[in-house]
Amino acid sequence: MATKHSRMSARLMISPAVLLLLGWMLIPLSMTLYFSFLRYNLLMPGMEEFTGLTNYRYFLTDPAFFAALWNTIALVVGVLVVTVIGGILLALLLDQPFFGQGIVRILVIAPFFVMPTVSALVWKNMFMNPVNGLFAHAAKALGLQPFDFLSAAPLGSIIGIVSWQWLPFATLILLTALQSLDQEQLEAAEMDGAPWIKRFFYIMLPHLARAITVVILIQTIFLLSVFAEILVTTNGGPGTASTNLTYLIYMQSLLQFDVGGGSAGGVVAIILANIVAIFLMRMIGKNLDA
Amino acid sequence: MGRITLDKVRKAFGDIEVIPPLDLTIEDGEFVVFVGPSGCGKSTLLRLIAGLEDVSGGQIRIDREDATNLPPAKRGLAMVFQSYALYPHMSVRKNIAFPMKMAGLPQDEQERRIEGAAKALNLTDYLDRKPGQLSGGQRQRVAIGRAIVREPAAFLFDEPLSNLDAALRVGMRLEISELHKRLATTMIYVTHDQVEAMTMADKIVVLRAGNIEQVGSPLELYNRPRNVFVAGFIGSPKMNLITGAEAAKHGATTIGIRPEHLAISTEGGAWKGEIGVSEHLGSDTFFHVTVDGWDEPLTVRASGEVSLSYGDTVWLTPNEANLHRFDAEGLRIA
Ligand SMILES: Nc1ncnc2c1ncn2[C@@H]1O[C@H](COP(=O)(O)OP(=O)(O)OP(=O)(O)O)[C@@H](O)[C@H]1O
Ligand SMILES: [Mg+2]
């Protein structure tokens, strides 16, 4: 890809795809933008009128907005921390030779194939339920008071459920990265007198940097829009304790039938997501350069 | 000090015995080369000495101390790998400093040793580069630098030059030999290039299927191979091995004669043959001569300017004093 000529033709050849994607993105985006400047309530059809920035003013001054903003950040960061650290530990474990390795690897990947609604319901009803849940039974067996996860620690519980879903993804990517590490490097470090823990921090972790970056970037995109898990477990409550931006927009436009307000929220979410993306690329994107 | 003794060392992977019980002593300051065909267990033996593999039996002693169960780091040995095994995310300086950092050496001592190694290995200008920005030869020198700064009891090299091109290989060969003369540290060097073995070694260990076939100085092995395998393995081009009636005439099952110990003539001699391919190296010419009635062509060395060509009839005469004779077991007849 070195010559001017080959770069030109490369650009020419990918341009149809780029244009298609651009249109695909631009049409819904401009419609959202357009709706966000309208007073548009589904209960009063045909009465749309231009209101300027009113929708934005209401959305941004709503106390629920700040709660949702913090919840979104807490959810993303919490899940990232759990999945990256847990993923590294699991990958280290699965990289060891042991009996039944193949089956265990498949089992580890399994949660990724469970639909978010299903897994959230299973967690809610079978594990976290304060009366019938497994955790409640375990607590009672130990003579402890059962803990009502979803009302006492709603956001923490959702972080747990979402982490459980994303852990396989992180593990899988980190495991393949770990397996691509040249064994001779580890042996050289061993001869150089590095005990296991130092080999991990000096050799393995730097080798994993790129994979960790990929995990963080991809997961952030999906975690900013977590929705199903909240809908089927806490409905954003109690109060706004587990409402994130996506859920707030849903409430605005579909529970309050306020399409204009919801669209304004959508635009705000897009801007915030882009700010996050720029920050992430600035901070860790350099790891992706070969 | 770096005297290494292997006492009935044995290695098996599962049911497969790769190295049957083997005894070997490597004296302090010696340059020992392990040679042998691919898969004969050279790397395995080296890794046993390094401690990267556990022995299945026997004892390894380093300077009289039992090192059989010591972890690699405690043996005081440094290893240079075929793939260099540099740490890709660290600069050359950090790579070389790594073993000292792990040993907790003071900073100024580290600096001093890095400077010394960099100067000795011509790496001073590259200290702040990453391994990915170096050529193969430079990477190899970094790997050697990383080994030197530890001031080990012995260096272990596993085919360190096999990824380099021919010209560079000759240069690095000299550099490693020079390094050995200067440091006078024990070096164990694995290769299957027998030119490397001949030029660098104080002592060559010829291995076949995990067994030691012969141990000795390069010239000892060249002049008095203990068996047919060593005779055929040491020397380039290979020794001519002749079996059958001609060997029986000399009271042996196999006789061997090196290409330089055959005289070639157009008038007459012991064996009559026809010239096949000839290889002109400038200083020497090697003729492949098919002798009437024998399957294998013989290789003959002649001086550079012999005007013989394909299909010419020639006579070969072996120099009787340099004829090697081997019995039915392949062992040398004195
Ligand atoms: N981890 C292992 N498990 C099972 N067998 C092995 C293992 N490592 C090596 N071997 C076997 O041991 C024998 C010796 O291998 P080794 O790597 O020591 O050969 P080598 O002499 O270094 O060959 P080369 O010149 O090709 O590097 C080979 O037959 C190989 O298949
Ligand atoms: Mg090998």
CB atoms within 10 A of CB A129: 18
Domain ranges of chain B: 4-231, 238-326
Q: Quote the CA–CA distance of A127 and B146 in Å, as a whole number.
A: 54
CB atoms within 10 A of CB A22: 11
In terms of Cα–Cα distance, which of A202, A193, A216, A190 is closest to A287? A216
Q: Quote the CA–CA distance of B68 and B42 in Å, as a whole number.
A: 18
pLDDT in tens, A218-242: 899 899 889 988 999 888 878 888 8
pLDDT at B205: 94
Partner-chain residue, chosen from A191, A198, A209, that has the shortest CB–CB distance to B78: A191
B98/A194 Cβ within 8 A:
yes
For residues B143, B145, B150, B156, the Cα torsion angle rounded to the nearest 10 degrees is 50
Cα Rg, chain A, nearest whole Å: 24
pLDDT of residue A39 exceeding 70: yes
pLDDT in tens, A60-99: 888 888 889 899 999 999 999 999 999 999 999 888 888 8
Q: Is residue A265 part of a domain?
A: no
Q: Which CATH architecture group holds B4-231?
A: 3-Layer(aba) Sandwich (3.40)
pLDDT of residue A1 exceeding 60: no
Assess whether the C-beta atom of B13 lies below 6 angstroms from ligand 1. Answer: yes
Domain ranges, residue A125? 62-257
CA distances from B269 to A36, A94, A283, B263 (A): 106, 71, 82, 9
Kindly state the tokens that stand for B213: 């076939």
Q: Which one-letter DSSP state was computed for residue A185?
A: H
pLDDT in tens, A144-173: 887 888 888 889 999 999 999 999 999 999
- Calculate mean pLDDT across residues A6-10: 87
pLDDT at B33: 95
pLDDT in tens, B247-269: 888 888 999 999 999 998 888 88
Q: CA quadruple A77, A80, A84, A90: dihedral positive or negative? A: positive
Contact by Cβ (8 Å): B177, B97: no
Assess whether the C-beta atom of B18 lies below 6 angstroms from ligand 1. Answer: yes
pLDDT at A103: 87
pLDDT at A64: 86
Q: Is residue A56 part of a domain?
A: no
CA distances from A69 to A225, A251, A272, B77, B213 (A): 12, 15, 9, 57, 76
DSSP element (H, E) containing B311? none
In terms of Cα–Cα distance, which of A232, A230, A243, A234 is closest to A269? A243
Residue showing tokens 């193969």: B136
Chain A positions touching chain B (beta carbons under 8 Å): 182, 184-185, 187-195, 198, 202-203, 206-207, 209
For residues B230, B236, B238, B240, the Cα torsion angle rounded to the nearest 10 degrees is -110
pLDDT at B305: 72
Q: What angle do CA A11, A13, A16 make, to 5 degrees?
A: 100
CB atoms within 10 A of CB B33: 25
Per-residue pLDDT band for B88 (boundaries 50, 70, 90) equals very high
Counted domains in chain A:
1
The mean pLDDT value of chain A amounts to 87
Assess whether the C-beta atom of B171 lies below 6 angstroms from ligand 1. Answer: no
- Beta-sheet pairing, B186-190 with B31-35: parallel
User: Which residues in chain A have their CB less than 8 angstroms from residue B103's CB?
Assistant: 193
pLDDT at A125: 87
List the beta bridge partners of residue B298. B289
Q: Which CATH number covers residue A123?
A: 1.10.3720.10
Per-residue pLDDT band for A290 (boundaries 50, 70, 90) equals low
Per-residue pLDDT band for A112 (boundaries 50, 70, 90) equals confident
pLDDT in tens, A53-62: 888 888 888 8
pLDDT in tens, B183-213: 899 999 999 888 889 999 999 999 999 899 9
pLDDT of residue A50 exceeding 80: yes
User: Which residues in chain B have their CB less than 8 angstroms from residue A203's CB?
Assistant: 87
- pTM of the predicted model as reported, rounded to 2 decimal places: 0.80
Q: Is residue A114 part of a domain?
A: yes
Closest Cα to atom 25 of ligand 1: B38
Q: Is residue A122 part of a domain?
A: yes
pLDDT at A204: 94
A166: buried, middle or exposed (CB in 10 Å: 19+, 13-18, 0-12)? buried
Kindly state the tokens that stand for B279: 């290889």
Q: Is residue A264 part of a domain?
A: no
Residue type, A261: G
Q: Which one-letter DSSP state was computed for residue A57?
A: H
In terms of Cα–Cα distance, which of B66, B321, B48 is closest to B188? B48
Q: Is residue A275 part of a domain?
A: no
Closest Cα to atom 2 of ligand 1: B13
Q: Is residue A162 part of a domain?
A: yes
Q: Quote the CA–CA distance of A31 and B317 in Å, as a whole number.
A: 98
**More confident position, A45 or B158:** B158
The CATH number of the domain covering residues in B238-326: 2.40.50.140
3-state secondary structure of B223: helix
pLDDT of residue B324 exceeding 80: yes
pLDDT in tens, A166-199: 999 999 999 999 999 999 999 999 999 889 999 9
- Calculate mean pLDDT across residues B28-32: 93
Ligand 1 centre from B44 Cα, in Å?
A: 6
The mean pLDDT value of chain B amounts to 90
pLDDT in tens, B38-50: 889 999 999 999 9
Cα Rg, chain B, nearest whole Å: 24
pLDDT at A251: 86
